Structure 1
């Protein structure tokens, strides 16, 4: 089985199916991919909140690639086995003005630098988040020509921020162009389902993947298989949002969780909001009892019980 390596310098900032591949690999190849954190190298362990205000958004969310897979044709399914996600020893989480589920409540920039170990990330002194590294952005080229933003997820994958794309997962992507043109980036040390503040614990990483093609199995949207350890939550605090609008219900559940965290820990609301983004999970609890739907947010009790 052939192995390959890509440097973080072999990156791009848009989806474009005419980008020149930086690597050609055969079916069943194993590839080690170096990833730059979502700031594109603009934030460091010594960065301050003012650096968030100065971010150049034309440089954010770089992805390493594209990788040309031999014999990949439109209509095929590209299967990506995630073998390892080895993250850096630090990461960042920010509130970026105009971004996030509660952007109207938190209009000012804010930044926290986490120290990362094998077991946890320390968002604030004494506030430890279990580490579960994963790939935030992974996808193949779109069928449409021209430049397309990396920010929104699409049918070919991309910035999906599915926290279950950890080592041991298998991802299925619909191939839209010859060679597939696979790229990946935006690695995280930890994130809650929903990534409600817009950022997770963003970090550099070395990712190892294996690719192969399914010629007789076609998907139209990404699918994945998760390993047994990718789920969480035993004892948890749970807040709810209820109403006819799922988006507003998600906002309600998040606002209530921010309030709960503040009440139990004394944290400022902005840090409670960042905590929900990196450790709390939004779930659709009910979507059949017309006219109101229920969204819940879950946060492991051990993270905040007893304060900080």
Structure 2
């Protein structure tokens, strides 16, 4: 078993199986990745909402890598154990026009800066006395596709990618189907916190170093990634319960929009903050959940906002 370190300058902006690996590792090796925030370094602690409006989307969600895993072949499974995440202490959440679940309502750019304790023992302060308990995770994690050419990092795929799943945290293990020789594994887009759904399109976007161990299972066919998260999922944030708004009807997407729309208004009124700020706060901590999907023809989506966030 060897230990490796990859600097953030070794990154790419799309999945492409013709990319040359920056490192070759053996199964069982440990790799520490430096990552860049989801803006690709375009946003800094001095940025304003005006900078959000001029983002170059060709440079978002950079992934550090790729790494060639010796012996990996199509039909195998790549096993990624997340050993550690080292937070930077600064992050951002933005409303990007045209992006997010309520893009029809919030059409202007907005930006919130987060400055947080890197020990993660103190919730990150927001506006009006609100604060968000932190639990870092990896947003982009995956491998090259079998299809040739450059493929966007933004949508998730069967080989991983921009999964934005809070279960991919320290202690978790993620198993991916391999589609190309060597797997060509990369990761990035680290988050300090996020609600399920990442409803405005961004979480608490925060560059971190990530330490993983890579293993290989030969001849293990998977349809999609499998995540094993051994830690309690919400203990850091659910001690005071939740406010829940609902959307009810035959369309799950519309139900999600309705539930979130109500929660934005509820939190905006309760904290006396602008609705767009409530929207970004929901993206950092509120969970969208399907709470009923059997009583046809109508289903229920709930937007769960943790009361621990409120002052």
Distance 1:144 1:185 in 2: 22
Deviation at 1:262, TM superposition (A): 1.6
Other-structure match for 1:255: 261
Other-structure match for 1:70: 70
* Conservation of the 8 A alpha-carbon contact between 2:75 and 2:219: no
Deviation at 1:216, TM superposition (A): 4.1
Distance 1:195 1:295 in 2: 15
Alignment of 1:1-308 (within 5 A): 1-117=1-117, 118-119=120-121, 120-124=123-127, 126-232=129-235, 233-234=238-239, 235-304=241-310, 306=311
Deviations 1:11-57 (A, max 9, x none): 00111011000010001100000000001011111111111011111
Deviations 1:100-143 (A, max 9, x none): 00000000000000011123222336321111000000001101
What is the root-mean-square deviation of aligned Cα atoms in Å?
A: 1.0
Deviation at 1:144, TM superposition (A): 0.4
Partner SS for 2:126: strand
Deviation at 1:88, TM superposition (A): 0.8
Distance 1:280 1:79 in 2: 29
TM-score, length basis structure 1: 0.97
Of stretches 119-128 and 285-294 in structure 1, the one that deviates more from structure 2 is 119-128
State how many pairs are aligned: 305
Partner SS for 1:65: strand
Distance 2:159 2:128 in 1: 39
Distance 2:226 2:158 in 1: 10
Deviation at 1:263, TM superposition (A): 2.2
Distance 1:9 1:116 in 2: 25
* Conservation of the 8 A alpha-carbon contact between 1:166 and 1:230: no
* Conservation of the 8 A alpha-carbon contact between 1:286 and 1:295: yes
Distance 1:204 1:76 in 2: 30
Deviation at 1:84, TM superposition (A): 0.7
Q: For structure 2, which runs of at least 5 residues remain unmatched after alignment?
A: none
* Conservation of the 8 A alpha-carbon contact between 1:121 and 1:189: no
Deviation at 1:282, TM superposition (A): 0.6
Q: For structure 1, which runs of at least 5 residues remain unmatched after alignment?
A: none
Distance 1:82 1:230 in 2: 15
* Conservation of the 8 A alpha-carbon contact between 1:32 and 1:206: yes
